[in-house]
Chain A
Amino acid sequence: MIDREQVLHVARLARLRLSEEEVDVMVGELSGILDHVDRIGNLDLEGVEPTSHVVALENVLRADKPHQSLPRDVALASAPEPQDGAFRAPSPQAE
């Protein structure tokens, strides 16, 4: 179960702004999904190793050689607001 307060908190963490209607829908839908998912909460998995990755790999390294990276103008070509060779964004603090 998840309530309105939690939905609003999680939305803030995820940088999503939800309308009143979206919050209502989200409360219902997420609660339904979590009810289902909660079934695994009751399983006894004491001592079972968690799997974060299915292929056993460690320390995959490439040759330590310089190589061409994207030219700056190409990297900036898709930016919404490039300026002076950089990505421009609004100030972190409102004026």
Chain B
Amino acid sequence: MSELLNLTALGAQEKLAAGDLSPQEYTDAWREAAAGDDINAYLWQDGSGEEAAAIAVEQARTAPIAVKDIFCTEGVPTTAGSRILEGYRPPYSSTAVRKLLEAGAPVLGKTNMDEFAMGSSNENSAYGPVLNPWDRGRVPGGSSGGSAAVVAGGLAPWAIGTDTGGSIRQPAAFCGIVGLKPTYGAISRYGMIAFASSLDQCGPLTRTVSDAALLLGMLQGRDPCDSTSVGLDAQISLPNREDLSGLRFGVPTELAGYEFDSGVREVFEQTLRKIEALGGELAEVSLPSSEHGISAYYVIAPAEASSNLARYDGVRYGMRAGGDGDLVEMYETTRSEGFGPEVKRRIMLGTYALSSGYYEAYYGQAQKVRTRIAEDFTTAFSAVDFVVTPTAPSVAFKLEEKTDDPLAMYMNDFFTVPMSLAGIPAISIPAGLAAPEGGGRELPVGFQIAAPAFAEQRLIDAAYALEQGIGFDARPGDADG
């Protein structure tokens, strides 16, 4: 059975198409593996006795998929990691889930996440934290921590998540897998529970770059239900590029001045050497406004969140509390009991930033910084094909290590937020292992590659060549003992 689980999603899809693999046997093997979840990664699993939106398994044409619990799935509990949506069963499916079902991918389960995707450690879930399969005393990253952990931990062949400021790339890096945030607008946001609408984007979390390409191809496309979706110009092809000759990789000069883990820096430097060995050319670029990315992001994202989360008022769906008083009393009781501390913090921050007298100083100024950050990338891409950075400033940190200091937690997004603000695609691939600063077993380090908007094919091709060159084959189990 373990041989079945070792197949990549692409490998399984090819065997299914050739009739060399039984859809029932293959899907059942994964259901059984998923049922062994002992890291709190799933909030709901198909086959747990409830009817799913899943297609009949005999019709499966590709690998079953784990879906972040932020995607509405008809008839299946969808909580976004929040108490306020406990027991909610959406009356329709998100476009992303619908497209997966159409492609023949059964939904394996719904994965745990930071509440409303707000967090970088998965510790903000109302249903408890996910444990990192590499070291159960550490976080898997967030907010798509469940989706990253199931893929890394052998509980799903592949998964989808969402990325607003790094929520696919950072957990992918912490769990040693591939995570791709596509260009804003490449994939429909319809039925994806909104956090910050100008930033939120769905994307793949997979074992390999080829699986990410396959999954992006299934998900992308314009959708009449999301007027901000535009899709990609051409269908994504599977990558087969073997070298990086003729490609220029921009390394931000600002990296030299930033403080981050020496182990991460070492793996980053090694990866740059690998790029050169594969024929790629390194060049210096400058992203002077990126250092203000965190500040701009933590105004814009909470501002949009405070508006989006106004809908949770105990009237139309979700929980209601305190119905004995007047309407406002019910609103306040419902929201105070339904939201967790981080969500309240961000609603407060966003409401403050948008409030009379502060709007221009915060939201207006942050939107201008956003313009500057996007312009930096445009300038960089006039000279290079890609911009590369570490995905996160450290390897996976310990549970509760940063929960008392929101700002320290936010700084995890330092390398991923600029691409989100600019709306450009970026991928994290596992590049090696490094020991945490305080010592301990070695953990995965992610390498981030960013490309111009809608250049997904070029990004995937280059990431594939680099992935082959790196040959990362460590698995969580290897670190034991």
Contact = CB atoms under 8 A, between A and B. Distances in A.
Contacts of B298: 33, 36-37
A8 B58 CA distance: 57
Interface string A21-56: 010001001101110111111010100111111110
Contacts of B422: 54
B185 interface: yes
A11 B348 contact: yes
A65 to B, nearest CB: 11
A80 B91 contact: no
B347 A94 contact: no
A43 B369 contact: yes
Contacts of A50: 364, 367-368, 370-371
A53 B348 contact: no
A26 B296 CA distance: 20
B50 interface: no
B327 A16 contact: no
Interface residues of B, number: 70
Interface in A39-95: 39-41, 43, 45, 48-55, 57, 60, 62, 70, 74-75, 77-81, 87, 89-95
B292 A43 contact: yes
A45 B198 contact: no
Interface string B270-300: 0000000000000000000000101110110
Place the interface of chain A in its size category.
35 or more
A19 B330 CA distance: 16
A78 B316 CA distance: 7
A62 B224 contact: yes
Given A33-B349, A78-B90, 18 more contacts: A15-B328, A26-B344, A32-B406, A36-B407, A37-B362, A40-B295, A40-B369, A41-B365, A54-B198, A54-B422, A60-B227, A60-B228, A78-B318, A80-B320, A87-B316, A90-B329, A90-B330, A92-B326
Interface of B: 88-92, 184-185, 198, 224, 227-228, 230, 292, 294-296, 298-299, 306, 310, 313-320, 323-333, 335-336, 339, 341, 344-345, 347-349, 351-352, 355, 361-362, 364-372, 374, 406-407, 410, 421-423, 453
